[in-house]
């Protein structure tokens, strides 16, 4: 395998860590067994996202915070946030995709099957109102658009994360439609 051009065998895992600060040991264990680690609910502030690249000496990271600090006031716990940790040895095959949605972190990985858009996602939770369903559909649409816009770069899509969806749930039809449309 020539790592300068693409990879043909990688290990990927995903983990809803519900606070990266209290899950460092578990994430380090995942890093020891994987090449790519998708995280959801890291609960980091925007100025703390760089901590993700210090979890393992062998990994770099890209992530987004779900915390809005524009008002200079933080009330309560900073829920949400996504990230992708990737092994330094394959960093030359990774292109970071900057998203404007804190529910999504993304990279493009050069593989033997062609470039792969890898998305770590934390989908909205169903609180029973119409806003939740609209947000779920919008997040699916955003990922689809991200993939379509990257068609010249990525020919495959892998979405990993917390889908907050079960068979028969209110989000299930939207999730199935999303999966079928993006193969």
Percent of the chain with pLDDT over 90: 80
Asked if residue 22 belongs to a domain, the reply is: yes
Asked if residue 52 belongs to a domain, the reply is: yes
Q: List pLDDT tens digits, range 104-124.
A: 999 999 999 899 999 999 999
Euclidean distance between CA atoms 68 and 38, whole angstroms: 22
Asked if residue 116 belongs to a domain, the reply is: yes
Q: What's the whole-model pTM score?
A: 0.92
pLDDT tier, 3 (very low <50, low <70, confident <90, very high otherwise): very low
Lowest mean pLDDT among 45-49, 73-77, 176-180: 73-77
Instruction: List, as one string, the DSSP characters of 35-86.
Output: SEEEEE-----GGGGGGGGGS-TTEEEEEE-----TTS---S-----EEEEE
Number of domains the chain is built from: 1
Lowest mean pLDDT among 3-12, 83-92, 102-111, 159-168: 3-12
Asked if residue 6 belongs to a domain, the reply is: no
Is pLDDT at 76 greater than 60 in this prediction? Answer: no
pLDDT of residue 150: 85
Asked if residue 3 belongs to a domain, the reply is: no
Asked if residue 158 belongs to a domain, the reply is: yes
Is pLDDT at 101 greater than 80 in this prediction? Answer: yes
Phi/psi of residue 151, nearest 5 degrees: -55, -35
Asked if residue 7 belongs to a domain, the reply is: no
Which CATH number do you get for residue 52? 3.60.10.10
Asked if residue 4 belongs to a domain, the reply is: no
Percent of the chain with pLDDT over 70: 93
Residue range(s) defining the domain that contains residue 93: 12-182
pLDDT of residue 77: 59
pLDDT of residue 39: 98
Chain-centre distance for alpha carbon 100: 13
Q: What is the DSSP letter of 111?
A: B
pLDDT of residue 88: 98
CB 85 within 8 A of CB 27: yes
Is pLDDT at 28 greater than 80 in this prediction? Answer: yes
Is pLDDT at 70 greater than 50 in this prediction? Answer: yes
pLDDT tier, 74 (very low <50, low <70, confident <90, very high otherwise): low
């Amino acid at each position: 395998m020539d790592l300068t051009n693409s990879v043909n065998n990688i290990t990927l895992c995903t983990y809803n860590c519900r606070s990266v600060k209290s899950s460092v040991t578990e994430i380090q264990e995942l890093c020891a067994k994987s090449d790519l680690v998708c995280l959801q609910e890291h609960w980091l502030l925007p100025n703390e996202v760089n901590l993700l690249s210090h979890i393992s000496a062998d990994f770099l990271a890209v992530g987004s915070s779900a915390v809005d600090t524009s008002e200079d006031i933080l009330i309560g716990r900073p829920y949400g946030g996504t990230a992708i940790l990737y092994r330094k040895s394959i960093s030359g095959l990774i292109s970071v995709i900057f998203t404007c949605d804190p529910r999504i972190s993304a990279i493009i990985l050069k593989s033997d099957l062609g470039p792969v858009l890898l998305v770590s996602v934390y989908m909205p939770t169903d609180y029973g109102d119409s806003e939740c369903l609209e947000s779920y559909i919008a997040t699916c649409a955003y990922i689809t658009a991200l993939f379509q816009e990257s068609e010249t770069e990525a020919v495959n899509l892998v979405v990993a994360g917390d889908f907050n969806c079960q068979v028969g749930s209110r989000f299930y039809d939207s999730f199935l439609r999303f999966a079928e449309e993006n193969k």
